[in-house]
Amino acid sequence: MAEIEDAEVFDARRTSFGAYATTYDAVRPEWPTATVYWMLGSPTTGAVCRVVDLGAGTGKGARAIATLGHEVIALEPSDGMREALATSLGA
């Protein structure tokens, strides 16, 4: 029984920001280009990385990575956050 309750609590927590996705996206700062460059291992000019953004949220990181010309696969478990991500991409 405790395992079922733990799973329910885990599921509720991992998707808890979804109801506030628009506000979350509006107040979170953009990712600095230098940080993204460093995070990707400082690829050489012209190199294209394939990046999985696990827990992509509203897509701030995914957008920052894509802006630098890299391929991004964004995965987000929260319906609300995923909807905000799709909206931000014009999907």
pLDDT at residue 46, rounded to an integer? 86
Mean pLDDT in residue range 36-52: 91
Which has the minimum average pLDDT: 16-25, 51-60, 64-73, 77-86? 16-25
Separation between Cα atoms, residue 56 and residue 74, nearest integer Å: 6
What residue spans of the chain are helical by DSSP H? 2-14, 21-27, 33-39, 60-67, 79-88
Mean pLDDT in residue range 62-82: 94
Separation between Cα atoms, residue 44 and residue 41, nearest integer Å: 9
Mean pLDDT in residue range 19-28: 87
Residue 86 has pLDDT above 80, yes or no: yes
